[in-house]
Structure 1
Amino acid sequence: MGIALGGLATLDPTVSSHLDTKEAVMIGAIAGSLIPDIDTILKLRNNAKYIRNHRGITHSIPAVLLWPLLITFILHLLFRDAHLFDLWMWTFIGVIIHVFVDIFNAYGTQAFRPFSQKWVALGIINTFDPYFFTIHIIGIIIWAIGGSPGPTFITVFGVIIVYYFIRIAMNLNLRHKIKKQLPNVEKIIISPTMRFNRWHLAIIAKNHFYVGNATNGEIKVHDVFERMEEPSSALMEAAKQDENLSAFLSFSPVYRFETAEYSDHIEVRFIDLRYRSKGYYPFVAVVQLDFDLNIICSYTGWIFSEKKLRKKLDYLPN
């Protein structure tokens, strides 16, 4: 996207006629389209830090305003003759487009911080959308073999806009069908997949959670769970003090929970219902406590089998 934006910037007369500005804008557009995801480095610390903060403050309103200024300042040190306003403008567009695109996938972002901590996730485009990616690659190839970048990327972005409207219409149509098919629906969470006509569904109704998918507009429910309120108990309060579970709860909008008692500990498990895969729910938070409700160990993240989860928990220090 950054490369595509840099190509589109050649339509700006100041950019196209000034070499330093042109080079700086290309770098700025790429950097702007990448820098909000600098928080990915938190993955190196632990999953809890990553889940709680990824696409949070780095995608917020203050960050969107500050990132272009920071990048422009740095690039101005390298390209002294570059026109500052054009450099800032195209870098700013790169940052804005990044955050805008993130709003439309199922993971979402806290784009309205500090005014709202709510996650905005419209579920229109997959986190990695092969069609979106391919359209950009085609544009870059055309440019590389001698095509004019301005008209090429106007066409690319025009196709992308049409694609977005098609996906929005599909999403809205699916929501309408779900409300007709299932009773007392309160909230619908739609997660697009890499397949154009397939969507994952997590539906909150008055008394139940429904998990399923939709293929070619046909809705299929795989699992139905009774909707239960979390008990106000000392066990739950103790478990929620854990960093991993707290991070999970700050991110997940629809989940179920389980408790189990073993010979030497109690286990509390929270299961995100959005990501069913081959009958398994891989995104979880698990807390193990002793009988005095002291936390022994915990984990949150993606685990695709019970065996791997057990290994992960056994590996963690007591």
Structure 2
Amino acid sequence: MDTGTHILMGVALGSIATLDPTVAYDPYLSHAVLIGTLAGSQAPDIDTILKLRNNAKYIRNHRGITHSLPAVWLWPLLITGIIVFFYPYVSIFHLWLWTFIAVAVHVFVDIFNAYGTQALRPFTKKWIALGVINTFDPVIFALHLTGIGLLFLGVHPGYAFLAIYAIIVVYYIIRFRQKAQIKQAVHEKIPNVERIITVPTFRFREWHLAITAKDYFYVGRVKNGRVHILDQFKKRPLPDDPIIEAAKKDENVAAFLSFSPVYRWELHEYNDHYEVRFTDLRYRSKGYYPFVAAVQLDRDFNIVSSYTGWIFSEGKLRKKLNLMANG
């Protein structure tokens, strides 16, 4: 989820914690728990700081180790240890428990969007992305704001957000049913389907699709329950080619390939260099595919420049590659 929703979830879990009698009857513990749930709801996203280094580090590591199984246990211990320094007489167990719940909920809800997490590390580095909730879901965000509004009306915070979360659970069930209907419609429309990646949008009745079939990749859109195929690409496995092998060693390309489950590739030869481009097929926007990795190599297969990330025009990509080459 987005940062704003995670913050609201911290408030929500801190409110639900007031249903815990130990928390309810100790105002200092109640304050400490609210701080813990707010911190716990944000801690796994500390890897966002990797953007300051480069896109490759961010793409390869965001929602990786900080969202792993060990991290779910370590974050609450770290946060609790810091808070107890300022609240030395509160129940450490209850503070840890609610902080743990906040961290676990953060990681759990992140697996429901198309980006996903590596939540099962260290057992596997596979990305878990269920593709039923947008990274920013206006319904979920609005329900949390409604819960906060109820607090100002004097409703008990625990019961207010318990009711809100019951509604959110129903909302998730509805989204899963929508996804199942979409997958059924795709199988009826396209033969030999091997994989369907659903990418929810801001709009409740619109989804993006990246479909892998036996011989083709299909990119589509779902609107009001109807599947529309927008693009079709012939599947081409990466060849055993020295240019491709050299490109795969580039940091930006390696990061892209470690993250993208469905992409197409292109190799272009120019007078003095080669260019290899990889395009993620999940994020089509207004006829353009903005999530790419591109690398330029000289005639001896040395990397001259490369880039990975979100680019919304060919001109901007050319500029990025030129800047890297000149840098």
Q: TM-score if structure 2 supplies the norm length?
A: 0.96
Match of 2:301 in 1: 293
Q: Where do 4+ consecutive residues of structure 1 move more than 4 Å?
A: none
- Which of 103, 107, 127 is the aligned partner of 1:99? 107
Distance of 1:189 and 1:241 partners within structure 2: 27
Deviation at 1:315, TM superposition (A): 1.4
Q: CA RMSD in A?
A: 0.7
**Does residue 1:41 correspond to 2:45, yes or no?**
no
What SS does the corresponding residue of 2:306 show, helix, strand or coil?
strand
**Does residue 1:280 correspond to 2:297, yes or no?**
no
Structure 1 residues 17-52: Cα deviation after superposition (integer angstroms, max 9, x where no partner)? 001110000000011111000000000100000000
Structure 1 residues 185-215: Cα deviation after superposition (integer angstroms, max 9, x where no partner)? 0000000001001000000000000001001
Distance of 1:74 and 1:172 partners within structure 2: 44
- Partner AA of 1:260 in structure 2: H
**Does residue 1:18 correspond to 2:26, yes or no?**
yes
- Which of 99, 108, 130 is the aligned partner of 2:116? 108
Match of 2:320 in 1: 312
Match of 1:178 in 2: 186
What SS does the corresponding residue of 1:316 show, helix, strand or coil?
helix
Match of 2:250 in 1: 242
Deviation at 1:3, TM superposition (A): 0.3
Distance of 2:247 and 2:30 partners within structure 1: 54
What SS does the corresponding residue of 2:220 show, helix, strand or coil?
strand
- Partner AA of 1:162 in structure 2: V
Deviation at 1:287, TM superposition (A): 0.3
What SS does the corresponding residue of 2:277 show, helix, strand or coil?
strand
Distance of 1:221 and 1:293 partners within structure 2: 37
**Does residue 1:52 correspond to 2:36, yes or no?**
no
Match of 1:68 in 2: 76
What SS does the corresponding residue of 1:253 show, helix, strand or coil?
coil
Distance of 2:182 and 2:325 partners within structure 1: 46
- Partner AA of 1:81 in structure 2: Y
Deviation at 1:147, TM superposition (A): 2.1
**Does residue 1:260 correspond to 2:262, yes or no?**
no
- Partner AA of 2:224 in structure 1: N
Deviation at 1:156, TM superposition (A): 0.8
Q: Which runs of 5+ in 2 are unaligned?
A: 1-8
Distance of 1:125 and 1:311 partners within structure 2: 34
Structure 1 residues 283-312: Cα deviation after superposition (integer angstroms, max 9, x where no partner)? 000000000000001000000010111111
Structure 1 residues 105-146: Cα deviation after superposition (integer angstroms, max 9, x where no partner)? 000000000001100000010000000000001101211342
**Does residue 1:87 correspond to 2:102, yes or no?**
no
**Does residue 1:211 correspond to 2:223, yes or no?**
no
Structure 1 residues 64-111: Cα deviation after superposition (integer angstroms, max 9, x where no partner)? 011011111111111011111110110000011101100000000000
- Partner AA of 1:166 in structure 2: I
Match of 2:202 in 1: 194
Q: Which runs of 5+ in 1 are unaligned?
A: none
Deviation at 1:216, TM superposition (A): 1.1
Deviation at 1:173, TM superposition (A): 1.1
Distance of 1:144 and 1:77 partners within structure 2: 31
Matched residue count: 318
What SS does the corresponding residue of 2:172 show, helix, strand or coil?
helix
Distance of 2:211 and 2:89 partners within structure 1: 55
What SS does the corresponding residue of 2:275 show, helix, strand or coil?
strand
What SS does the corresponding residue of 1:235 show, helix, strand or coil?
helix
The residue correspondences of 1:121-132 to structure 2 (distance < 5 A) are 121-132=129-140
Distance of 2:193 and 2:69 partners within structure 1: 32
Distance of 1:38 and 1:204 partners within structure 2: 33
